[in-house]
């Protein structure tokens, strides 16, 4: 295989020259900006670590890989474009399963293979029935299904991240539409619509990182509240004036209050 063979796959490119796709190339700056914004947001809420940091780095790598593809336009550049996207999708999927299902460590590892098998099977089925116009978008079916799946999960859980996750799924749907229509609208729009895919997709990925960071912060607060709860009752004295600060202690205080009231009425 000749890794330096030129690729002409987008409406804007009219020659194999380095700057034959200036708009498609320059709009990759949106990925770098989105990575910076997502990282700063994660740092502000104390989540700039682990999977969130990896996703921010992969988002920046997506921008650099896509820039290489839309300038060099060769097979090796296409690989540099695709690999960071697939890695981002995999890391985001694992992080989402961990943070939205509450599965810890080994349980998350057990969830990943069947979910991946389901996504791959659905993509394979779509590839068999998709019309020629949609075949280029079939490769992004796992990301599409994952986003809408997590949106449905957060809706069922009535979780606060539902709004942002649904927004990310909607924006990704619009961006995938722009990517798909690049070729068919080439005669009408000489620049094509692939650059819209870059802008909208950068927004989508920044939203995904933001949702995962917020969910991580929420889980951390819940763990801290559990750690602060005493194992038996609100305090050694059990007085209501102690104003318990965790849900378990508050329930214990209400129980003590009701029990005391019943004893007082029985004594009368």
One-character DSSP codes across the chain: --TT-B---STT--SS-TTS-HHHHHTTHHHHHHHHHHHHHHHHTT--SHHHHHHHHHHHHHHHHHHHHHHH-BHHHHHHHHHHHHHHHHHHHHHHHHHHH---THHHHHHHHHHHHHHHHHHHHHHHH--GGGHHHHTTHHHHHHHHHHHHHHHHHT-TTHHHHHHHHHHHHHHHHHHHTTTTTTTT-TT-SHHHHHHHHHHHHHHHHHHHHHHHHHHHHHHHHHHHS-SSSS-SS--GGG---SHHHHHHHHHHHHHHHHHHHHH-
Say if residue 261 is in the same domain as residue 163: no
Kindly state whether residue 109 falls inside one of the protein's structural domains.
yes
What residues make up the domain containing 239? 235-267
pLDDT along the chain (268 residues), means of 10: 90 93 97 98 94 98 98 96 97 95 83 95 95 91 97 93 96 97 94 97 98 92 69 48 54 67 52
Kindly state whether residue 126 falls inside one of the protein's structural domains.
yes
Could you tell me the CA-to-CA distances from 147 to 116, 130, 153, 242 in Å, in that order? 14, 20, 10, 45
Say if residue 163 is in the same domain as residue 253: no
Query: Which residues are 74's β-sheet partners?
Result: 6
Task: Say whether 70 counts as a known binding-site residue.
Answer: yes
Task: Say whether 21 counts as a known binding-site residue.
Answer: yes
pTM attached to this predicted model: 0.84
Kindly state whether residue 14 falls inside one of the protein's structural domains.
no
Say if residue 165 is in the same domain as residue 118: yes
pLDDT at 224: 74
Task: Say whether 12 counts as a known binding-site residue.
Answer: no
Say if residue 182 is in the same domain as residue 160: yes
Count of structural domains, the chain: 2
pLDDT at 201: 97
Say if residue 246 is in the same domain as residue 152: no
Kindly state whether residue 3 falls inside one of the protein's structural domains.
no
Task: Say whether 98 counts as a known binding-site residue.
Answer: no
Say if residue 58 is in the same domain as residue 117: yes
Tokens 């079939």: give the residue: 138
Say if residue 34 is in the same domain as residue 154: yes
Taken as a whole, the chain contains a residue count of: 268
Can you give the CATH number for the domain in which 153 is found?
1.20.1070
Say if residue 81 is in the same domain as residue 119: yes
pLDDT at 220: 85
Say if residue 215 is in the same domain as residue 97: yes
């Amino acid at each position: 295989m000749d890794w330096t063979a030129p690729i002409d796959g987008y409406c804007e490119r009219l020659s194999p020259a380095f700057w034959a796709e200036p708009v498609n190339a320059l709009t990759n700056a949106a990925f770098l900006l989105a990575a910076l914004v997502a990282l700063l947001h994660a740092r502000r809420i104390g989540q700039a670590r682990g999977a969130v940091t990896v996703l921010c780095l992969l988002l920046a790598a997506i921008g650099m890989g896509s820039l290489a593809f839309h300038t060099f336009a060769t097979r090796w550049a296409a690989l540099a474009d695709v690999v960071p996207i697939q890695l981002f999708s995999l890391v985001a999927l694992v992080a989402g399963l961990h943070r939205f299902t509450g599965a810890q460590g080994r349980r998350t590892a057990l969830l990943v293979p069947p979910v991946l098998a389901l996504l791959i099977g659905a993509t394979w089925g779509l590839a068999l029935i998709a019309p020629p116009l949609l075949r280029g978008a079939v490769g992004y079916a796992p990301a599409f299904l994952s986003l809408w799946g997590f949106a449905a999960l957060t809706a069922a859980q009535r979780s606060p991240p539902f709004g942002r996750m649904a927004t990310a799924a909607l924006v990704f749907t619009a961006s995938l539409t722009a990517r798909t229509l690049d070729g068919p609208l080439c005669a009408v729009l000489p620049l094509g619509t692939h650059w819209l895919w870059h802008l909208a997709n950068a927004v989508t990925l920044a939203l995904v990182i933001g949702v995962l960071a917020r969910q991580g912060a929420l889980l951390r607060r819940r763990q801290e509240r559990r750690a602060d709860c005493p194992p038996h009752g609100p305090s050694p004295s059990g007085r209501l004036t102690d104003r318990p600060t965790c849900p378990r202690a508050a329930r214990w205080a209400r129980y003590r209050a009701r029990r005391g009231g019943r004893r007082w009425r029985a004594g009368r």
